[in-house]
Amino acid sequence: MKLIFNLAAAALLVTGLTSVADAKELKKQSQFVDAVAGKKLVSGDTWLVISQDGKIEGVGRNNVKITGAWVWNKRFWCRNVVAGQKKFPEDCLKVKIDGSQVEFIRNKGKGDGIVYTIAN
């Protein structure tokens, strides 16, 4: 019985790892625009809309207004963002997508990541 439980637990673990491994990196601006532009991205209390024309708008925690701009640079989505009165440093992020989940990974894919869900 213990063996069956361990095998079932291992299968669940492998299945979870497979879904992460299936995420597709968006390497071209056209891929990014097709997948993300104009759609509402939600993560917890924060939502963003990234426009095709290089604008970022949304609302963060505590109803703070988010604005910014973005450009595509080689394989990375580079953005400048202001949330309320706080200006964040420019950063270029690796972007991956898996279904309706979009992951933005800071510092050209070497930093922390945040996952948004496409709401529309």
**50 pLDDT tier (thresholds 50, 70, 90):** very high
pTM, 2 dp: 0.80
The chain-wide mean pLDDT, for the chain, equals: 86
What are 94's two structure tokens?
A: 């690796």
Strand runs (DSSP E) across the chain, as ranges?
A: 24-25, 40-43, 46-50, 55-59, 65-73, 76-83, 86-98, 101-105, 113-118
Please check the confidence at residue 116 and state whether its pLDDT lies above 60.
yes
pLDDT in tens, 32-49: 999 999 999 999 999 999
CA angle 11, 13, 14 (to 5 degrees): 65
pLDDT in tens, 81-92: 999 999 999 999
Question: Could you give all domains of the chain from N- to C-terminal order, each with its CATH number?
Answer: 24-118 (2.40.128)
**7 pLDDT tier (thresholds 50, 70, 90):** very low
pLDDT in tens, 18-30: 334 578 999 999 9
pLDDT at 106: 97
CA–CA distance, 100 with 60 (Å, rounded to integer): 20
